[in-house]
Structure 1
Amino acid sequence: MKPKTGCTGSPLPFFRPSKHRKQVHYSNSSTTKYNDDNRLQGLYIVLFYLLLITVLSLSDIISSYAQTIQSVQGRVVDERGEPLTGAIVKIKGHTAGTSTGKNGEFSLRQIPADGVLLVSFIGYKTKELAVPAVKTSLLITMVPDATQLQEVEVVSTGYQQIPKERATGSFVQIDSALLSRRVSTNFLDRLDGITSGLVFNRQPGATDQNMLNFIQLRGRSTLGSYGAPLLVVDNFPYEGSITDINPNDIRNITVLKDATAASVWGARSGNGVIVITTNKGRLNGKPQLTVSSAVSVTQKPDLYAASLPQLSADQYIEAEQFLFNRGAYNQAISNGYTGLSPAVEIFLASKNGLISPSDSLARINTLKGYDSRKDLLNYYYRHALNQQYYAAISGGSTSAKYYFSAGYDKDLQNVRNSDNDRVSLNANHSYFLLDNRLELATRLVYTASRSESGASVSGLYPYDRLADNEGNALALVNNAAGSLRLAYTDTAGAGKLLDWKYRPLDEIRKGYSTAQSERNSYLLNFSLNYRVNNSLNASLIYGYERGDSETGRLNEEQSFYTRSLINTFTQITGSSVTYGMPRGDILVNGENSARSHNGRFQADYNHTWHKHSLTALAGYEIRQVTNFNTGYTLYGYNPATATNQNAAIIPDRYYPYYYGSGSGTISTVLSQDGTEYHFLSAYANASYTYSGRYTASMSIRKDESNLFGVKTNQKGVPLWSAGLAWNATGEPFYRFAWLPSLKIRATYGYTGNVDNSLSALLTASGRSTNLNMYNDLYLAIVNPPNPSLRWEKVRNMNLGLDFRLKENRLSGSVDLWRKKGVDLIGQSPLAPQTGVVSFKGNSANTRSRGVDVQLNSVNLKGAFGWNTGLLYNYSKDEVTKYMVESGSNFSVVTTNSINPLPGYPQYAVFSFKYAGLDATGAPLGYLNGEQSNDYSGIYNSSNRADLVYNGPAVPVHSGSLMNTFTFKGFALSVNISYKLGYYFRRQSLDNSSLYGGNGVVYAGQADYDKRWQKPGDELITNVPALIYPANTYRSALYTYSDALVENAGNIRLRDLRLNYHAGKSAWHPFRNLDLFAYLDNAGILWRANKHHIDPEPWYAVRSLSFGLKAAL
């Protein structure tokens, strides 16, 4: 959708003339001046460090060239052609040697002419080869050692790659094979149930775009800031939409969990880091074409699930009869235009004598036989169909490698007229120059996505029908859609108004209201990596990210939304018709433009001599992120000419409604806002290993930003970490042959969080409608200036154990961790005389602890194989300091997000203490420790002793159990996931919401038949009697009581995958071929509650997929 705004030459903000861009208010940008001395000091330190090492290295080079010696250089790669960083290369019979650098390259001098090279790497067989007589560049391909294969892992932090055996931090790595096991266009979906320490807490409203907000890595280490892990893609933090990342382009994902692993990312790493490394080509690799395809079918939603309670037509009509008899509809009946349901129209016609009692009963019985959910499943929902196609070609020569890929995804969603598609293109090149000393690498990714959705249908009466028996659309009364009484719209305007009937099936079928979203994103990485000598590398990296999106809904004049608005603002005087709102379509549009620039200069030092190995890096980083948003509504819009009639609308004028005595304004305001923030960072880390047994690591990073206060930028303490590791199996006294690998790790340090919504400067918001006492416009202070505003700090401690039994029968890791969040952003009180009663600053603390366990076993080997993988996560947190508590008890029990009460978890479920029912069916609670029916007092009390703490709202225990069975070319894997130790509040009968305003009955109710109806029922039920008019305080006592809190523990069959692998064969032309079938969300196996409610209903929709992956 590319409409013209009518007010500028282009609908996209970045093409607007500068005079329009000057109107933008950058609400979060800060004019805080960086402390130049500190910034330059950090830069000087890094440059001096690099200069010193470079001079020393160059002197070594000059010295070596002055001698007449034999030299050799080359590159060490694995069986796939991927470089092996940290491989040991030395001369047989000599202690001196070196280790390979970032790209697997090495160089040795002073080599005897008859020397023999020894090349070794953990997990691979040691290779011997004679030194060539003629100077040449060697390519050494290592062969895996099956007995050590478990250890072949390289950890990518986004700054460097570290062999697993030398890593002191806690991490988990997901390779492409495991990531591809699940079928999804979203890579985060694929991590669910296979990643240690990562918990998905999906909630209503979670989408593919915002899913990152609903995952936690070792709990949440912040109260008000962005709580999701930092996402890094090929060296730099990723600011775009996660839907722009094609999972098929991912080589592996490394999840950094503790301070030593993540602290190198500084003030953004407090919630952990997810590092994505994308696919690259192979040196000396023949061109290889890989194609894959998958088709998934997803069932319609289960509208009859226990987690979606709804009154039956019979129950609903009974409630309407109850309200009708008590005059709840009298006001709506008297004004003549407010919508009345079909049942109420029948009650009214019978009361007025227009139909006989028997006719009334027959019509009511007919309504009772209908079920609106059936029509929704027939006309509104459908089986979703998703198609994924991907192709990649990769290869390389001795001095270059490449990887090209293209993907296309098409998704027909389970709501009719709703679909989306995505095109992704990826080009990754690396060139090696100057005898392979200089690597020039580029990566360009382009993603174009589009989504479309039709009219939504909600608020139906349980007995509504979308179509008659012949399939023709029926006119309905729907208060959610704003439709009016049918008898009124039959005659209103005497034919001079637009059709005022609401026919939802026409809206569905004819697409009168369509929302479209288009997004184009670009990702460019450019890097230069120069190998000064065999130990020192210097790199310069630049990353640019750009995303432009536009979302709009076009409501055609034929749509009910537009027809109703035009009619509402229409005035008829005699034969004259005056339209307050112009005729034509209505376009509601929003645009977003985001940019990020990243620059990094870094030096890497990697040297091995005798029994010593030293790895170090230092760098300087600069980052800028900008966002610009625009929103507008166009009335009288004509798509053919891209014109609108907003000029005909008088701003701030109150136009009278056609019906009743009300009036309203028609907003034509163009809204614009933006943010811009900067980061400057200096960092360094080092790791030393002795004899392959003892490793010590350390890192430090200092961040500055225009989001921080000037005092913080001047004096802020850097974030740092330290770690130790002991490889016990390397000790001479180690004698446990059955346990050939045992490693103990310990780390301590600090990571951080940044709240991008805060500024160190005074922030205020304008008030354009609520004038002050002098009838003037004014600004309201949102947050006072805070020169000490700083990043949140998270103290991390981790103790880990990695082990492997003989023949890999059992292997895994166990990590014990603790976190303490300090200087977290929270509300703090201020003296009232300042004019502000509270502000958001660094005033809150939290703590958390947990256990991560990952076990893998090989149960059976041979023609029939059986492997098992177990994940167990334990995570428990507590708010230890928060300056401003919630007010009334009601505000505590109704909180659906973070509930920062000291001594309790961040996400805590609190409830009113319930005492059951009295003899009249009225609910009883507690006020100041005594049973009471003072509902207002209970509602507004701040005595926390009258509340019950039920438990955390997020899982304390979670994990999965995956079994994989293999037979010849077949493999069947079954993944069972579990979540335990958390609670949810189930829906029941809510008197206030059931009997809403103007007699509206809300159908989403449970336990209607279990309510108190006669004396003695209080002995068998906790559900109160219904009263009219409803008492809000009375209803809240039961709705938020501990009687409705349930254990959310559940075990579910997460998925199943059947795969067939065929090598090269006469029956197909491929080098490798995999065929698979995949069942997602197979079903819940056990739930702790006794009401058959799935506490996570978003997992309940099953999908079945078929696909293939082939390589030529």
Structure 2
Amino acid sequence: MREVEKLNGEYFSKTRYASFYASADYYLGKTIVLNASFRTDGSSNFGSNRQFNPTWSAGAAWHIGEENWMKNIPVVSHATLRAAYGFTGDVNTSTSHLLVMQYLQQQYRYFGDETFNLGTIPSAPNPDLGWEKTRDAKVGLDFGLWKDRLTVNTEYYYRLSTDVVTSSPVQSTTGFTYVYFNAADIMNNGVEVTVNGKLIQKKDWTVSAAVNFAYNYNKVLKYNPVSTSGITSKDRYVEGYPTGAIFSGKYSGIASDTGLYQFKLRPDAQIATATDLNKPDNYRYYLGTTIAPYTGGFNLSASWKQLKLSVSGMFSLGSKTYEKMRYPASYSNTSHSGVSTETVQSQFSDLYGNHLNVEKDRTNRWTVGHTTGVKYPRIYDYYDAKYNFSSYNPMDASIIDAVYLKNNSYVRIKSVILTYSLPSAAVKKLRMRGLSFNVSMNNFFTFTGYDGLDPEIPGATYPTTRSVSGGINVEF
């Protein structure tokens, strides 16, 4: 239950859970461990028809390094093979099965001395809204070599999520905008690897490194929205494609005759008349995903006598995003006495867009005397004489937005820390246990082809803060 204070917008939530849990472990000698668990959970987040969700899991681990025959392989310091299979449930706390009214801020109606907030009820109640269920299978191998100077942890997983909660649009005649349903099944599988190594171990000189890597592939196996009106660039789930799938046009340059963006037609495009050339479905392709399939991090640590250097970073590869930071703004108070004659393809074409304070390369646009090798389209007045551009060119934003699609893969050095510790003899003379000085640099190095402000946070309007700091650590 959620209660809202209508005057200041503050709210608090009341959610009830009930859980029952049992588990057991069984040892076969010193090397094999079996475990099993069972639980059932109930939540008031869901409809009265589906509040409880029983789950179970089972696993096994074989400590290979403890076997007698492994003692003859001294290079292996430890090794464990493990596997697990089971079911879990997830509570999507952003949804509700109840009828919820949302108050509109600063919109009132007056009746005598009383003031009332206006409100909307966008989502219909659904007593059958239930748990998101996940079937999980994983196999892992962990081992260490040369007295654990090198350790490796690996895991392969297969995860099938069913009854994933989605907000599906409904017909406006119902009086609602959308309704929450358990409408999707999503498959994830991938590999996770962590490697730690002590590369150099000497009296005054040590170097160690660690890296973790993850690859994840997911695909929507089933999606049953309440109503379907075709794929758009904003669709969250499309069967046969990963979550975060991007559907848009394949940009092929600026037409020399019209000065408009042009896009590649699909091989199965249905073109019977000239007006079919402006239909979005004839241009829509799958262009990638907003979720990076390859992610990871790394750390390097080196020390020489009292000096220590630590470098850490992260990487994300394979994702795309729409970058509109260079998209020209519009004048909010633009008015015209005439009637709009046709659609403007993008704000780069809009005469009433803010073309005053822009980058210098914005002059490299199509004009009557400059029709080839240009970067930006023509400008035209959609209140002026009709060009009929919208009759035979794609104008839908879901297709045009491909112009702003960028690969936001990156490798970032998050921090570089240099520390100097005084020798113990010098510290004792100062009657201290320890004294060290450090200086750190944060977010100074990012390697990417992305031309937005921050590939880690696409669409950010303020760049990631770079900082340099220093410190003194004193121990008494």
One-letter amino acid of the counterpart of residue 1081, structure 1: N
Q: Spell out, residue by residue over 1:494-553, the C-alpha distance to the aligned partner (whole angstroms, 9 max, x if none).
A: xxxxxxxxxxxxxxxxxxxxxxxxxxxxxxxxxxxxxxxxxxxxxxxxxxxxxxxxxxxx
One-letter amino acid of the counterpart of residue 207, structure 2: W
Distance 2:23 2:137 in 1: 18
Distance 1:1093 1:829 in 2: 33
Please state if 1:1025 is matched with 2:387.
Answer: no
The alpha carbon displacement at 1:903 in A equals 1.9
Q: Spell out, residue by residue over 1:749-791, the C-alpha distance to the aligned partner (whole angstroms, 9 max, x if none).
A: 2222212344444445579879xxxxxx998654444333222
The residue correspondences of 1:631-710 to structure 2 (distance < 5 A) are 631-632=7-8, 671=9, 673-710=11-48
Other-structure match for 1:819: 159
The alpha carbon displacement at 1:984 in A equals 2.3
Contact 1:1073–1:1111, Cα closer than 8 Å, also in 2 = yes
Contact 2:247–2:398, Cα closer than 8 Å, also in 1 = no
- The unaligned stretches of length 5 or more in structure 2 are 110-116, 336-351, 384-388
Other-structure match for 2:57: 721
**What is the DSSP-based 3-state SS (H/G/I as helix, E as strand, rest coil) of the residue aligned with 1:712?**
coil
Other-structure match for 2:438: 1076
Other-structure match for 1:324: none
TM-score of the two chains, using structure 2 as the length reference: 0.78
Distance 2:433 2:283 in 1: 70
One-letter amino acid of the counterpart of residue 962, structure 1: N
**What is the DSSP-based 3-state SS (H/G/I as helix, E as strand, rest coil) of the residue aligned with 1:916?**
strand
Other-structure match for 1:1014: 368
Other-structure match for 1:753: 90
Distance 1:631 1:778 in 2: 12
Q: Larger Rg: 1 or 2?
A: 1
Other-structure match for 1:1108: 472
Contact 1:693–1:728, Cα closer than 8 Å, also in 2 = yes
Contact 1:725–1:746, Cα closer than 8 Å, also in 2 = yes
Other-structure match for 1:800: 140
Distance 1:1038 1:1012 in 2: 23
Q: Spell out, residue by residue over 1:279-321, the C-alpha distance to the aligned partner (whole angstroms, 9 max, x if none).
A: xxxxxxxxxxxxxxxxxxxxxxxxxxxxxxxxxxxxxxxxxxx
The residue correspondences of 1:227-238 to structure 2 (distance < 5 A) are none
Distance 2:173 2:371 in 1: 56
Distance 1:1038 1:1005 in 2: 24
Other-structure match for 2:209: 868
- Residues 1:1003 and 1:1049: Cα distance change in structure 2 (over 3 Å): farther
One-letter amino acid of the counterpart of residue 1076, structure 1: N
Q: Spell out, residue by residue over 1:898-918, the C-alpha distance to the aligned partner (whole angstroms, 9 max, x if none).
A: 722222222222222334333
The residue correspondences of 1:365-376 to structure 2 (distance < 5 A) are none
**What is the DSSP-based 3-state SS (H/G/I as helix, E as strand, rest coil) of the residue aligned with 1:1066?**
helix
The residue correspondences of 1:44-443 to structure 2 (distance < 5 A) are none
The alpha carbon displacement at 1:952 in A equals 1.3
Q: Spell out, residue by residue over 1:448-484, the C-alpha distance to the aligned partner (whole angstroms, 9 max, x if none).
A: xxxxxxxxxxxxxxxxxxxxxxxxxxxxxxxxxxxxx
Distance 1:677 1:929 in 2: 52
Identity %: 23
Contact 1:686–1:698, Cα closer than 8 Å, also in 2 = yes
Instruction: Answer 1 or 2: which has greater helix percent.
Output: 1
Please state if 1:1060 is matched with 2:420.
Answer: yes
**What is the DSSP-based 3-state SS (H/G/I as helix, E as strand, rest coil) of the residue aligned with 2:363?**
helix
- Residues 1:722 and 1:1094: Cα distance change in structure 2 (over 3 Å): same
**What is the DSSP-based 3-state SS (H/G/I as helix, E as strand, rest coil) of the residue aligned with 2:286?**
strand
The residue correspondences of 1:702-1101 to structure 2 (distance < 5 A) are 702-713=40-51, 716-734=52-70, 735-764=72-101, 782-827=122-167, 839-862=179-202, 863-884=204-225, 887=229, 892-893=232-233, 895=234, 899-918=236-255, 919-925=257-263, 926=265, 928=269, 937-938=278-279, 941=280, 943=281, 946-987=283-324, 993=330, 997-998=334-335, 999=352, 1001=354, 1007-1015=361-369, 1017-1018=371-372, 1020-1029=373-382, 1040-1062=400-422, 1063=424, 1065-1084=427-446, 1086-1088=447-449, 1095-1096=455-456, 1100-1101=464-465
Distance 2:201 2:124 in 1: 67
- Residues 1:1073 and 1:695: Cα distance change in structure 2 (over 3 Å): farther
**What is the DSSP-based 3-state SS (H/G/I as helix, E as strand, rest coil) of the residue aligned with 2:50?**
helix
The alpha carbon displacement at 1:1053 in A equals 2.4
- Residues 1:992 and 1:1058: Cα distance change in structure 2 (over 3 Å): closer
Distance 2:177 2:135 in 1: 30
Distance 1:631 1:833 in 2: 31
Q: Spell out, residue by residue over 1:29-58, the C-alpha distance to the aligned partner (whole angstroms, 9 max, x if none).
A: 5xxxxxxxxxxxxxxxxxxxxxxxxxxxxx
**What is the DSSP-based 3-state SS (H/G/I as helix, E as strand, rest coil) of the residue aligned with 1:1028?**
coil
The alpha carbon displacement at 1:864 in A equals 0.9
- Residues 1:904 and 1:736: Cα distance change in structure 2 (over 3 Å): same
One-letter amino acid of the counterpart of residue 1028, structure 1: D
The alpha carbon displacement at 1:1046 in A equals 2.6
- Residues 1:1108 and 1:960: Cα distance change in structure 2 (over 3 Å): same
One-letter amino acid of the counterpart of residue 1009, structure 1: T
- Residues 1:905 and 1:879: Cα distance change in structure 2 (over 3 Å): same
TM-score of the two chains, using structure 1 as the length reference: 0.35
Distance 1:947 1:837 in 2: 26
Contact 1:1080–1:1103, Cα closer than 8 Å, also in 2 = yes
Q: Spell out, residue by residue over 1:921-954, the C-alpha distance to the aligned partner (whole angstroms, 9 max, x if none).
A: 123344845599859943xx4x3x5212221112
Contact 1:990–1:1035, Cα closer than 8 Å, also in 2 = no
- Residues 1:629 and 1:689: Cα distance change in structure 2 (over 3 Å): farther
The alpha carbon displacement at 1:738 in A equals 0.3
| Root-mean-square deviation (Å) | 3.8
**What is the DSSP-based 3-state SS (H/G/I as helix, E as strand, rest coil) of the residue aligned with 2:49?**
helix
Distance 2:379 2:25 in 1: 69
Other-structure match for 2:112: none
The alpha carbon displacement at 1:965 in A equals 0.8
Contact 1:924–1:932, Cα closer than 8 Å, also in 2 = no
- Residues 1:762 and 1:974: Cα distance change in structure 2 (over 3 Å): closer
The alpha carbon displacement at 1:810 in A equals 0.9
- Residues 1:1108 and 1:923: Cα distance change in structure 2 (over 3 Å): same
Q: Spell out, residue by residue over 1:637-675, the C-alpha distance to the aligned partner (whole angstroms, 9 max, x if none).
A: xxxxxxxxxxxxxxxxxxxxxxxxxxxxxxxxxx56443
**What is the DSSP-based 3-state SS (H/G/I as helix, E as strand, rest coil) of the residue aligned with 1:1042?**
helix
Distance 1:946 1:952 in 2: 18
**What is the DSSP-based 3-state SS (H/G/I as helix, E as strand, rest coil) of the residue aligned with 2:68?**
coil
Contact 2:77–2:148, Cα closer than 8 Å, also in 1 = no
The alpha carbon displacement at 1:1059 in A equals 1.9
Distance 1:694 1:1041 in 2: 56
- Residues 1:783 and 1:1073: Cα distance change in structure 2 (over 3 Å): same
Q: Spell out, residue by residue over 1:344-372, the C-alpha distance to the aligned partner (whole angstroms, 9 max, x if none).
A: xxxxxxxxxxxxxxxxxxxxxxxxxxxxx
Q: Identify the structure with bigger relative contact order (alpha carbons < 8 Å, sequence gap 6+).
A: 1
- Residues 1:1067 and 1:766: Cα distance change in structure 2 (over 3 Å): closer
Distance 1:764 1:1100 in 2: 37
- Residues 1:807 and 1:757: Cα distance change in structure 2 (over 3 Å): closer
- Residues 1:838 and 1:631: Cα distance change in structure 2 (over 3 Å): closer
The alpha carbon displacement at 1:834 in A equals 7.1
Q: Spell out, residue by residue over 1:865-887, the C-alpha distance to the aligned partner (whole angstroms, 9 max, x if none).
A: 11111111112222222222774
The alpha carbon displacement at 1:966 in A equals 1.0
